Amino acid sequence: MHYKFGEPAGRYLGPGGGYHVYSGSISEAAPQGYGDIHVHKMAAGEFNFQYGPSTGGLMESVGISLTTPGELINSVGVDPYFKARELKLKGQGIETALLMVERINGFHAASNSLAFLMAVEDALGIETSEEVQKARILQLELERIRSNLEVMKRMCEPAGFGVPTNQLGYLREKVSRIISSASGHRFFFGVNAPGYASIAYSGINEKLNVARQEFERIFYALLESKIFLNRLQNNGVTKDQFLSGPAARASGLRYDSRLDSGLLPYGDTPFFPAVREEKDCFGRFSVRGEEILNSIDIIASLGNLRETDRHVSKAGDGEGCARLESPQGDIFYYVKIRDGKLEDIWHVSPGVLNVRAFQESMKGNIFTDFHFNWESFGIWISEIGVVIR
């Protein structure tokens, strides 16, 4: 296993499997300051406003409790376990487990399934070809483009900004169709296996270049819209250091698994982490926009890819883990395999850190800020509210 159990080393990725995972180690020790969450005491005139778990304004079922004297939000509690699903993964073979892992977060299925498969490959000592590694970068970057478009679209929606909302939705669907024609499935289900990726590269660049021109026009116009920027600037300012993905990079932190995981050859691509200092919704919006453009450049640099032969799953024993940069942030999987079956498996979702940061960032804001801030973190509840058995 390329990861080591021991003392905390590197930046904090989050809790999982009863441990605390860092960029350089798996430890039993939580980082300093992680448990210091201010507990709000209800003051006179305040009341609790329950939003969710099921309401039209939320993409997924999640319980949100807001403490307020009327307009100002003094405290926020997020309960991501309303729709907690139990996944029976332990004891399963790799093939069946993969079907479930793909469905931990369907919208980020490539990130989840590839992190899982790379952990399996680490455990079983399976080598992957350069073609497969490039095919994996292609999937991850296509998924990032689509996911960031979805977040940006959902940030335009509460502003009642109909034209950009629909145009970003149009582009998001265009990317879904590119994914579908390249891989056969709109969410990369059934595309990957140990040492294998089934994705056709032909024509992707041309389609993405057309989408890029359309996106740049919308993105730069939105960055000049004072009405829109007023809703984002100074909304949801994060002071936390425990952040992941675009939320971290929008707070001046150069956190990105593509930089320091070393599992995929991002060094051969024009990848650069988009980092901004604003720490607010505007920073998170800008980072996502810049990442879309960079992801298109990364894909263009991959060259033509050939489909690889299907790898026959290797039975055996071992322990492995892998860390990738999903559109939400660092995603980590740990597996322990005995006789080709999963003896243990757990994962770390970037959403755990970002939910925590969202709660802190919402204090002192008002109700109309809520949706912009919630959407700007791009949190997927399905990935957090899951119990692996």
Partner 1 sequence: MSNFWFGEGLRKGRKTEKFPLAPPEEPPLWPSYLDGNAEPYCPTEAIKEGMWDPGRCIFCRLCEPQYKPTGKQGIFQVRKTQPLLKKSFYIYKLDSGACGACNVELGTIFDPQYDANRLNIFMTNTPRHADAIVVMGVQTERMKEALKNAYEAMPEPKLIISLGACAISGGIIGKSPMEREQYHVEIAGCPPSPYTILEALSRARGV
What is the binding site for partner 1 (CB under 8 A)? 53-57, 59-61, 81-87, 95-96, 99-100, 103-109, 150, 161-164, 166-167, 169-170, 172-173, 176-177, 180-181, 184-187, 189-190, 217-218, 221, 224-227, 380-382
Shortest separation between residue 217's beta carbon and partner 1, angstroms:
8
Shortest separation between residue 232's beta carbon and partner 1, angstroms:
15
Shortest separation between residue 286's beta carbon and partner 1, angstroms:
18
Cα angle 238-239-244, degrees, rounded to a multiple of 5: 60
Residue type, 298: I
Query: Which residue is associated with the tokens 């959407």?
Result: 375
Shortest separation between residue 331's beta carbon and partner 1, angstroms:
14
Pick between residue 90 and residue 185 the one whose CB is nearest to partner 1.
185
Pick between residue 294 and residue 376 the one whose CB is nearest to partner 1.
376
Quick one: which H or E segment has residue 302? none
CA distance 146 to 111: 13
User: What does the block give as tokens for 140?
Assistant: 């991850």
Pick between residue 80 and residue 246 the one whose CB is nearest to partner 1.
80
Task: Give the CA dihedral 261, 324, 119, 90, nearest 10 degrees.
Answer: 140
Residue type, 212: R
Pick between residue 26 and residue 175 the one whose CB is nearest to partner 1.
175
Task: Give the CA dihedral 196, 200, 205, 206, nearest 10 degrees.
Answer: -170
Shortest separation between residue 161's beta carbon and partner 1, angstroms:
8
Cβ–Cβ contacts within 10 Å for residue 262, how many? Answer: 12
Shortest separation between residue 310's beta carbon and partner 1, angstroms:
11
Residues present in the chain in total: 389
Nearest CA among 179, 180, 182, 285 for reference residue 230:
285
379 DSSP 8-state letter: -
Pick between residue 159 and residue 281 the one whose CB is nearest to partner 1.
159
Shortest separation between residue 28's beta carbon and partner 1, angstroms:
30
Shortest separation between residue 192's beta carbon and partner 1, angstroms:
11
CA distance 57 to 55: 6
Cβ density class 307-343: b for 16+ within 10 Å, e for less: ebeebebbeeebbbbbbbbbbbbbbbbbbbbeeeebe
Contacts of 289 by beta carbon, 8 Å cutoff, 6+ apart: 148, 152, 215, 219, 223
Pick between residue 205 and residue 225 the one whose CB is nearest to partner 1.
225
Pick between residue 77 and residue 265 the one whose CB is nearest to partner 1.
77
Secondary structure class of 381 (helix, strand, coil): helix
Shortest separation between residue 96's beta carbon and partner 1, angstroms:
6
Pick between residue 164 and residue 329 the one whose CB is nearest to partner 1.
164
Pick between residue 59 and residue 293 the one whose CB is nearest to partner 1.
59
